[in-house]
Amino acid sequence: MFRLRPYQAEAKQAILAAWDEGHRKTLLVLPTGCGKTVVFSSVTENQVNKGHRVLIMAHRGELLDQAADKLLEASGLDSVLEKAESTSLGSLLPVTVGSVQSLAQEKRLARFPNDYFQDIIVDEAHHCLSDSYRRVLDHFPDANILGVTATPDRGDMKNLGEYFDSKAYEYSMTEAIRDGYLCPIRAQMIPLKLDIADVGVSNGDFAAGEIGHALEPYLARIAHEMACYCKGRRTVVFLPLVAPSQKFCAMLNAAGMKAAEVNGNSTDRTEILSAFENGKYDVLCNSMLLTEGWDCPAVDCSVVLRPTKIRSLYQQMVGRGMRLSPGKDHLLLLDFLWMTARHDLCRPSSLVSRDEQIAKKIDEQIMKNDEVYDLIETEEQAERDVLAEREEALARELAEMRNRKRKLVDPLQYALSIAAEDLTSYVPTFTWEMAPPSEKQIAFLEKRGIFADSVKNTGLAALLIDRLKLRQDAGLATPKQIRCLERYGFRQVGTWQFDDASALISRLANNNWHIPYGLNAASYRPQEVI
């Protein structure tokens, strides 16, 4: 039995709460290596104890086996397999681990009553928008659905928000690294000018065949560089196709490295993976085989030679090397692709920030020179720089607004003042979040002092309302206090207590709305005696 980590326990409770609140289709977002299987195993145990039948669904045999083994290990629950000749119909076991390819077959699916499963868990939920998954999920219209993924992004520009109606819980890669559950990432840019400008797009991502062809002229140079940078490391290389993967493996061996290659057709795949894990090989080349369902904590170097636009895929590739292991203090991420002209290409910054401005700052810093950069430290500095730039821009805007009669606070000003990065970078995920704010939301925000005309969707409105209520309960400064004091040049008023802000406003009023002599508004903090 597993003892849940704090964030895993929070995730479990959030999922159950989402279902209880009527969000029947909800998401759990956990980075690779943070125990998503442990969480949904615990959720499964909870539902089985209620007398429910639970279906755990995946698209690959490795994931099915992993789910069944972890479920047994974490909860003591055995499961029955729904795949090929094996079926769960008639079984007394309450948990089914099922292959989507088998379940989606019309005749097979029709044998299941529509209410057979009360809960369905979809592993690697970013696949969930495919026709096969939808066919199975739609067959059980009243079941609670939990989608589990490392990121809710999808490369064909369809969003999981089209199917799921809420995100129960998200634990970011950045949080996991800071909390010590994943190892830090150090990014190294290798100056190789790779020309993929003419590579086409297929199903939302760069076409694998064209990428493989464009990559081939550079493989020898990359092998030479890796012989220097990867010495003494356990390295995994991701390539677009089998042929370039095999060719590159031969080049690495010629360069003096001990390399092996695996692909979907490898008959000795198990033996090669085991040999790599045991240290027989330094480098493991693969053509996108190892993005899901394989773990080797000893991996401490990742090389992504499969350019992608899909953040979830990029995160899965890099995530193979982020698990903790004795003697391992970081993952080295070698980026040979950063000098390409394609700006839609995922880069190391994609791992730690969804904010375009912050990601751009990270890229600018990493690309300055040939150094190794700690990705979290670089992200923190980039975030500080971007917030400072936003504050400066807002200060200029506020200076222009001082003569206007608007008495309400701009939501961006409010978010910056209370240091709420989730508000400043908010992008709606789910369909309901994209709708315009309701009249009730607008009335609430304006009553509390927020200029609602600048709130473009109901998702942001809901987030602002929740934050206003929490801040009121905590006795923090109101939007109107923030606007009043920041007009006089006081900074970060959103972090002040209500009483401190109120006392200073009274002091200003008693001084004919002039700043008291000797008080510096820009540097003032409420602890100072005035």
Shared domain check, 158 and 17: yes
Shared domain check, 452 and 410: yes
26 near 157, Cβ under 8 Å? no
Shared domain check, 191 and 331: yes
Shared domain check, 91 and 22: yes
Beta strand extents in 93-230 (DSSP E only): 95-99, 119-123, 144-149, 166-170, 185-189, 201-202, 205-206
Shared domain check, 272 and 358: yes
Please report whether residue 176 resides in a domain. Answer: no
Please report whether residue 389 resides in a domain. Answer: no
Please report whether residue 381 resides in a domain. Answer: no
Please report whether residue 528 resides in a domain. Answer: no
Shared domain check, 494 and 351: no
Alpha helices in 114-194 (DSSP H): 131-139, 173-178
Reported pTM: 0.76
The per-residue pLDDT for 163 is 83
Shared domain check, 148 and 190: no
What is the C-alpha to C-alpha distance for residues 50 and 34, in angstroms, rounded to an integer?
Answer: 27
Shared domain check, 301 and 152: no
What is the C-alpha to C-alpha distance for residues 219 and 221, in angstroms, rounded to an integer?
Answer: 5
Shared domain check, 209 and 146: no
Which of these three, 375, 391, 425, is where a domain ends? 375
170 near 153, Cβ under 8 Å? no
Number of domain units in the chain = 3
Please report whether residue 101 resides in a domain. Answer: yes
Shared domain check, 49 and 151: yes
Longest dimension (CA), the chain: 85
Shared domain check, 165 and 189: no
Please report whether residue 154 resides in a domain. Answer: yes
Please report whether residue 134 resides in a domain. Answer: yes
What is the C-alpha to C-alpha distance for residues 526 and 154, in angstroms, rounded to an integer?
Answer: 46
The per-residue pLDDT for 337 is 76
The per-residue pLDDT for 517 is 87
3-class SS letters over 416-473: HHCCCHHHHCCCCCCHHHHCCCCHHHHHHHHHCCECHHHCCCHHHHHHHHHHHHHHHH
Please report whether residue 354 resides in a domain. Answer: yes
Boundaries of domain holding 349: 185-375
Q: What share of the chain is helix, strand, coil (3-state, %, to 5)?
A: 45, 15, 40
Which of these three, 375, 395, 417, is where a domain ends? 375
Tokens describing residue 441? 């939301």
Shared domain check, 364 and 294: yes
- Torsion from C-alpha of 442, 443, 446, 450, nearest 10 degrees: -30
Which of these three, 116, 141, 171, is where a domain ends? 171
178 near 376, Cβ under 8 Å? yes
CATH number, domain of 36, equals: 3.40.50.300
Spatial CA neighbour of 139 closest among 42, 200, 57: 57
Q: One-letter amino acid identity for 258? A: K
The per-residue pLDDT for 495 is 87
Tens of pLDDT, residue by residue, the chain (530 residues):
568 999 999 999 999 999 999 999 999 999 888 988 899 999 999 999 999 999 999 877 777 888 888 889 888 899 999 998 888 898 999 999 999 999 999 999 999 999 999 999 998 787 777 888 999 999 999 999 999 987 765 444 356 777 888 889 999 899 999 999 999 999 988 877 777 777 888 877 888 888 888 888 889 999 999 999 999 999 999 998 899 999 999 999 999 999 999 987 888 888 999 999 999 999 999 987 777 767 789 999 999 998 888 888 888 889 889 999 999 999 999 988 766 666 678 888 888 887 888 888 888 888 776 778 899 999 889 988 888 888 777 767 666 554 444 677 788 778 877 878 778 778 887 878 889 999 999 999 988 888 888 899 999 999 999 999 999 999 999 988 988 888 888 888 888 999 999 999 999 999 889 998 888 888 888 875 54
